[in-house]
A = this chain, B = another copy of it.
């Protein structure tokens, strides 16, 4: 590969300005300790401008022992949820002059990905969607870490209010008058999904409505999972009238199953997702959902990392971001005479 092009260095600027290289560094890095004659300062600045000098961030990183780069580890960029998180992170990272190193962890190379980041001397890493416990502790311990949507007593965490998300879903259904409430979600170890489920179940139970086990479907939190789980639900002797899915992707799968079965969403069955990804507005009727602050999660993760800054090794403070109900087309009052056998 062609080597990094010959860029102008601080010494060249120094030569042109007739000062020492150090002077250039001091003046240009606006180091407060540097009290230079206005005249010299101007000369240096001008020389730098004329030459188009831009500091080599790699060299700077080496001496500062700070790369001004952050890593972000996610399972898959194709998943709109992670794309949104990364996007949010990228926004504030570049506002603050930080770079974002991308790591996409496929099934079995989490560790290698994390190592690759660490070797690049990143100043911190954001972990989302990858089980933190599956990552080598020593590796993480040496890093500034923010974990999104996972609990940890060791690292800083940041999460949506998953319990509230589930609760909101239940309240919405209950408020609409539904009493045959179903749930579709993974049996996975994922904290968010479990909490969304728990919040939902708690409110339903508290309302006195029965929690029928045949209305509680386990399925992967993706389109295929939602699809088949909904098929199971539809095959029931007595169908539920409202279904909450652990995420939008599975809700979309469920949506598809309903449409295929001729079910009129929002009337025969109310369907609610969670995440509020854009795709939800593409289907007909549009998917009602619980909005989750994806971009904000990424953005705040970066800010948190940046502030683990000057108070090194802060005690991790878990923060929880609010969620919000977004009513679109797939939810409504139960039909007078519920369908299904």
Which residues of A line the B interface, CB within 8 A?
Answer: 1-5, 7, 54-59, 61-62, 65-67, 69, 76-78, 80, 83-84, 86-87, 90-91, 94, 97, 99-104, 106, 109, 112-113, 115-121, 123-124, 142-144, 223, 252-253, 255-256, 259-260, 278-279, 281-284, 305-306, 308-310, 312-313
* Neighbour of A283 across the interface among B7, B67, B282, B306, CB < 8 A: B282
Give the residues in chain B near A120, CB-CB below 8 Å.
57-58, 69, 99
Number of copies: 2
With A61-B58, A99-B101 as contacts: A306 and B1 at CB distance below 8 Å: yes
Contact call A4/B65, Cβ cutoff below 8 A: yes
- 25 CB < 8 A contacts A-B: A1-B308, A1-B309, A4-B65, A4-B123, A7-B142, A54-B118, A56-B119, A57-B120, A58-B61, A76-B87, A77-B90, A80-B83, A86-B102, A90-B103, A91-B106, A94-B103, A94-B109, A94-B113, A94-B116, A99-B101, A99-B117, A99-B120, A256-B282, A283-B283, A284-B284
Q: Is the beta-carbon distance between A123 and B259 smaller than 8 angstroms?
A: no
**What distance in Å separates the Cβ of A135 from its nearest Cβ neighbour in chain B?**
15
A109 cross-chain contacts in B, Cβ below 8 A: 94
Most chain B beta-carbon neighbours within 10 Å: one of A58, A103, A109 = A58
Is the CB–CB distance between B100 and A102 below 8 Å? yes
A62 touches B58 (CB 8 A): yes
**A119 to B312, alpha carbons, bound, how many Å?**
27
List, in ascending order, chain B residues with CB within 8 A of A67's CB: 4, 58
| Contact in complex: A123, B1 (CB < 8 Å) | yes
Instruction: Assess whether A282 is in contact with B282, with CB atoms less than 8 Å apart.
Output: yes
Seed contacts A4-B67, A97-B116; 15 additional CB < 8 Å A-B pairs: A1-B123, A3-B66, A3-B312, A55-B119, A69-B120, A78-B80, A78-B84, A80-B83, A86-B102, A87-B104, A99-B102, A100-B101, A101-B101, A253-B282, A279-B282
Indicate if the CB atoms of A282 and B223 lie closer than 8 Å: yes
Partner of A1, one of B61, B124, B282: B124
Are the C-beta atoms of A2 and B78 separated by less than 8 Å?
no
Report B-chain residues with C-beta under 8 Å of the C-beta of A259: 284
Residues of chain B contacted by A99 (CB below 8 angstroms): 101-102, 116-117, 120
CA distance A260 to B80 in the complex (A): 25
- Complex-state Cα separation, A112 to B96, whole angstroms: 12
- The answer, among B57, B102, B283, for a CB contact under 8 Å with A90, is B102
A6 to B47 CA separation, bound complex (whole angstroms): 37
Q: Which B residues lie within 8 Å of A283 (CB)?
A: 282-284
Report the separation of the CA atoms of residues A339 and B282 in the bound assembly, to the nearest whole angstrom: 24
Q: Which partner residue on chain B sits nearest A54 by CB separation? A: B119
A104 x B78 contact (CB < 8 A): no
A80 to B283, CA, bound (A): 16
CB distance from A166 to the nearest CB of B (A): 23
Residues of B contacting A69 with CB < 8 Å?
101, 120
Chain B residues whose C-beta falls within 8 Å of the C-beta of A143 in the assembled complex = 5
